[in-house]
Amino acid sequence: MFVFVRTSKPKQHFHKRSAKTLRIGSLISETITPICQQNGFIQARILLEWDYIVTPQFAQWCIPLKVTFPFNQRNNGYLLVKATSSMATEIAYQEPQILNRINQYFGYQAINKIKVFQGPISKKSAPLQQPPLPPLDKAQSDFLEEQVNTVHDEKLRSALLSLGKGISQKSKFLS
């Protein structure tokens, strides 16, 4: 993304260019650097990747607001979450599981407490549905079944067959 920034005063001669195009990243880096240094990158990652960290049930009805750490530490912090009143009760009940998912995501004991702020949350729009994948023809399906036929474990065989079908359908869809 580019932003048009005027670098000098307008001149009387309009045949010369008086502005240049700059990337947004170069303009805002001075602004966000102190914030990133103050809170580390954990706060940005929690905010940006909240849908992947917690289950969709929680991500739809609660949002992370702030991460606060003890003085001179980057672990054992607390997470301030805004949630609807019904979801606040659910979060309090399942706090150990949510903390476990967050800390597994980061790979260390980043958060040890969740504080819930109750308030209205606008429902997130559902992600765009992908178009259905084209079905496999009989020859491809038979080939895949022949490949996994030597596997003795039924669950593993069905998982491998499903994986093979998914890959074949995806590659057929993309070509």
Q: Which of 167, 76, 73 is nearest to 114 (CA)?
A: 76
- Residues 129-143 have pLDDT tens digits of 566 767 788 888 899
- Read out DSSP for 12-71? S-TTS--EEEEEHHHHHHHHHHHHHHHHTTHHHHHHHTHHHHS-HHHHHHEEEEEEE--T
Question: Which range has highest mean pLDDT (6-15, 112-121, 161-170)?
Answer: 112-121
What are the structural domains of the chain? 1-9+18-39 (no CATH), 41-118 (3.30.300)
Q: Which residue has the higher pLDDT, 126 or 144?
A: 144
Sequence-distant (≥ 6) Cβ neighbours of residue 62 within 8 angstroms: 81, 82, 83, 84, 87, 88, 91, 116, 121
Question: Residue 5: its pLDDT value, please?
Answer: 55
Q: Is the pLDDT of residue 67 over 70?
A: yes
Question: In what helix (H) or strand (E) does residue 171 lie, and over which residues does it extend?
Answer: helix 154-174
Mean pLDDT in residue range 66-80: 83
